[in-house]
Structure 1
Amino acid sequence: MLARVRSTNLAVPRPDPGAGRTTGIDKRPVDRIEVFRPGPRYGDGPGVVGDHVGDTRHHGGEQKAVYAFSREELDWWEGELGRGLPDGMYGENLTTEGLDLESLLVNQRVRVGDEVVLEVSVPRTPCATFQRHMGERAWVRRFTERGRCGTYLRVAVPGTVRPGDPLEVLEPPAHDVDLRTAFAAAMGDDRAARSVVDAGCLPTIYHERLARHLAGEG
């Protein structure tokens, strides 16, 4: 199957009663999205025009500009949960097909269509908002055990993304840390964390967090 964008999705802001704020996790398909480089901090907002970030302490900014999740994983979870999961259900701006997102390397670049270039940044870590949105018991644990987290992306070259745009994986970076390893590290696997820290491939804040954990400081 040709790797492609299946769906482009924007948030429909709604209340998140458990957090006392709105959330943008509920995303719905639109005919296109415009991506750009936001500022460096979480509070600098998403990298998608018209999208919404409710939790500005942990989301948005250049490292979490765009989120992608695969249709294949949504299909797998439909079988597990016995319910339909439409494109955008996991809060993704891009629902992809034909590309194993978790096998991509941290900092790998992906060309989208003729114009846009995105860069793998950090894995998605499940949170209480995601748990409430899904309404499934032990959802954070189940999602973590599956190990298929999707990926946050930086915007290297901004522009317009449309459903059907092909996805081309570009030259790999000079390390072998993939998203599955980075996700395992973020969720407490010390062996994976050591591999990630040794590679020095994560953005500074994430690298330092793992390094402190391995040093017993956090």
Structure 2
Amino acid sequence: MKSNATAEIKYFAIGLPEKLSYGEGKEMLTAICKKPVQQAFLTKEGFEGDGVADKKHHGGPDRAVCIYPFEHYARWEKEFGFELPPASFGENLTLTHMLEEDIHIGDVLRIGEAVVQVTQGRVPCNTIDRRLEMAPFLKAMVKTGYTGYLCRVLEEGMVASGDRAELIERDSKGVSVLYANTVNFHQPKNAEAIRQVLESQALAAEWRDWLTKRLEKLTT
């Protein structure tokens, strides 16, 4: 992914928490079932009309926008054998040409009138499995690192479904989302790798906190 590279918005979706039925008569409150929109204003806290149910693990300035790479849909549909609905993973923006291996923590994207900065890989939860017919997406996403990623908002503005996402600034440390995911999920005792992820100044505060604590345990 080069600077000034652009991506197409395949799906643009927002939504507020609502009841989700899953399993055998079970229910939960979640905002994972987002609905397509033509446009929405993006604030520092996220899109107007968008929300989360679990504010401890979702939302907030470091996690204002959720992005998922469109290319993974074909992989998951082949692996699990059914067609996925738009915004299957509760993402706001499903983008082409913005894979986790190509996007770095700290990269800056212009999307419509807004400007966002990548802060962390998404940490998937079992709500994804519950929504998608109880297929083991959580396990598969953690294994591959194909989780999508989250962003903070640097400049507020209107975003429309016909806009494109443009990479306008590369983070100098070059820590890809996929690398950060690999370290977080699969290399919890790799102190050098943890240090490398922590070098990214744009890293989300929560990730910085737990990776710092993990490193302290490894080095004391």
Give the TM-score, by structure 2 length. 0.84
**Shift, 1:163, TM fit:** 1.7
Relative to 1, partners in 2 of residues 1:143 and 1:162: Cα closer, same or farther, differing over 3 Å? same
Question: Within 5 Å, which residues of 2 pair with 1:1-80?
Answer: 3-11=7-15, 13-16=17-20, 21-38=28-45, 47-80=46-79
**Shift, 1:21, TM fit:** 4.8
- Runs of 4+ in structure 1 deviating by more than 6 angstroms, as ranges, are 17-20
- Name the stretch that deviates more: 173-182 or 11-20: 11-20
CA contact 2:6–2:166 (8 Å) conserved in 1: no
Other-structure match for 1:183:
181
- Structure 1 or 2: larger strand share? 2
Residues 7-47 of structure 1 show CA distances to partners (whole Å, capped at 9, x for unaligned) of 21012633257897510011121111221102xxxxxxxx1
Give the TM-score, by structure 1 length. 0.85
**Shift, 1:111, TM fit:** 1.0
Other-structure match for 1:193:
194
* DSSP-derived class of the 2:158 partner: strand
**Shift, 1:126, TM fit:** 1.2
Question: Within 5 Å, which residues of 2 pair with 1:1-218?
Answer: 3-11=7-15, 13-16=17-20, 21-38=28-45, 47-113=46-112, 115-190=113-188, 191=190, 192-199=193-200, 201-216=202-217
CA contact 1:200–1:207 (8 Å) conserved in 2: no
Structure 1 segments unaligned to the other structure (5+ residues): 39-46
Alpha-carbon distance in 2 for matches of 1:201, 1:8: 25
**Shift, 1:59, TM fit:** 0.9
Relative to 1, partners in 2 of residues 1:186 and 1:69: Cα closer, same or farther, differing over 3 Å? same
RMSD (Å), alpha carbons: 2.3
Residue identity in the other structure for 1:11: G
Alpha-carbon distance in 2 for matches of 1:26, 1:17: 11
- Name the stretch that deviates more: 208-217 or 65-74: 208-217
Alpha-carbon distance in 1 for matches of 2:64, 2:71: 22
Which gives a bigger RCO, structure 1 or 2 (Cα 8 Å, sep 6+)? 2
CA contact 2:116–2:155 (8 Å) conserved in 1: yes
Relative to 1, partners in 2 of residues 1:198 and 1:121: Cα closer, same or farther, differing over 3 Å? closer
- Name the stretch that deviates more: 100-109 or 55-64: 100-109
* DSSP-derived class of the 1:4 partner: strand
